[in-house]
Amino acid sequence: MAQIELDRIDKLFGKVEAVVDLSLDIPDGSFVALLGPSGCGKTTTMNMIAGLEVPSTGEIRMNGASVVDVPIGKRNVGFVFQNYAIFTKLTAYENIAYGLRVRKMPAAEVDAAVHRVAKLLDIEPLLGRGVRGLSVNDLQKVAIGRSMIVNPDVFLLDEPFSNLDAGFRAFMRTELKRLQRELGQTMIYVTHDQLEAMSMAEHIAILDRGRLQQWGTPEEVFDSPSNLFVGGFVGSNPMNLIDVGLQHSGFGLVARAVDGGHQLIALAAERRFATTNDGLYKLGFRPEHARLVSPEDDAVDLRGTVSLLEELGPRNIVHVGVDNLSLRVVVLPSVRPTMGERVGVAFERTKFHLFDDSGLALI
């Protein structure tokens, strides 16, 4: 196992800044996701941890010791990639055993280790088969087993489930989380899929354009996004964002919806803001943190008309047009408003977010 520190890492490819001033402290035995869109620097970061790339500046330490000058073969890291990187002419058994045989481990110990790993991955019946005849799902299990068997200090996975079907991806997310807990290995998982990151990782590092946007638990990045990018990127439903002007009144702070017919929204007095200035901001709230109410209800924040109903089985999403705005509200399947119906939208007073013109969260 390994505790990993990235200390002010930069990585340049010519004039392109792939990673900029990145610092992370990854606890020993933890499951961490590097999350972000394509080109955000997450794979480059993983490659620097592995030793496939060298930082332009900065320091990488494993268990307190610098590894910047340590070659990849001596870092004791295991890899699993989107493309399986297995030997197609060998059997599943031979692929999994390969790393131990290279280390000249006695045959009996190799055999015991292969069967132990195969049992964990539920592929023991496949060990004698050639990998060319295996399904895509089983090929990825073989690739995971080959990396796992050498007992690496850190396990690096770069979008390993991208080629799997949706049902098996969900199964493998559960299995990988179980394996990580049983083995206690430090695991770093690269993905652009926020569902994968949120469902598996203990901590998430969210990257954009090579820069760290937020580090936190899944709950922290969902409930308390540090900026507008994180608020919009994390969550299965896009955050509702409203351009508002802040005004101070005798009743406290009031938001005026610029594109929502200048409707007024009284902001909760118990919330503490990092600004007291009047001006233009973005008010955000998640569809899960809103509800439909009568337009005459005292709790109403915005009034509009139903423009679309998405029926998704265990929940529905109602789209509400508010002048030039389109808001989403997650509701129970039993809630089925009609198109054009006049409704009110109310959001939870402890769950909204306010961002300044630079995108930074103020609360």
CA–CA distance from 308 to each of 297, 321, 322, 337 (Å)? 22, 9, 13, 9
Compute φ and ψ for 37, nearest 5 degrees: -75, 170
d(CA 48, CA 61): 11
Please tell me the predicted confidence (pLDDT) of residue 211. 98
Amino acid at 330: V
Yes or no: say if 185 and 155 are a contact pair by the CB < 8 Å rule: yes
Residues in the chain: 363
Q: What is the CB-side half-sphere exposure of residue 242 using CA atoms within 13 A?
A: 33
Encoded tokens for 25: 């402290």
Encoded tokens for 77: 């890291």
Q: Using only C-alpha atoms, what is the Rg of the chain?
A: 25
Contacts within 8 Å (CB) and 24+ apart, 128-133: 128/91, 128/92, 128/93, 129/91, 129/92, 130/89, 130/90, 130/91, 130/92, 131/86, 131/87, 131/88, 131/90, 131/91, 131/92, 131/95, 132/88
Amino acid at 65: A
Q: Where are the alpha helices (DSSP H) in the chain?
A: 42-50, 92-102, 107-121, 136-148, 166-183, 194-200, 218-223, 228-233
Amino acid at 189: Y
All domains of the chain in start order, with CATH = 4-226 (3.40.50.300), 240-355 (2.40.50.140)
Please tell me the predicted confidence (pLDDT) of residue 230. 97
Please tell me the predicted confidence (pLDDT) of residue 282. 92
d(CA 96, CA 161): 18
Please tell me the predicted confidence (pLDDT) of residue 270. 52
Please tell me the predicted confidence (pLDDT) of residue 1. 73
Yes or no: say if 153 and 1 are a contact pair by the CB < 8 Å rule: yes
Spell out the per-residue pLDDT of the chain, length 363, in tens.
Answer: 789 999 999 999 999 999 999 999 999 999 999 999 999 999 999 999 999 999 999 999 999 999 999 999 889 898 888 777 789 999 999 999 998 998 899 999 999 999 999 998 889 999 999 999 898 888 888 988 998 898 889 999 999 888 777 787 888 888 889 888 888 889 999 999 999 999 999 999 999 999 999 999 999 999 999 999 999 999 989 899 999 988 776 656 778 888 767 788 888 655 566 665 667 899 999 999 999 999 999 989 999 999 999 999 999 999 999 988 999 999 999 999 999 999 999 999 888 999 998 999 987
* Bridge partner residues of 309 (DSSP): 318
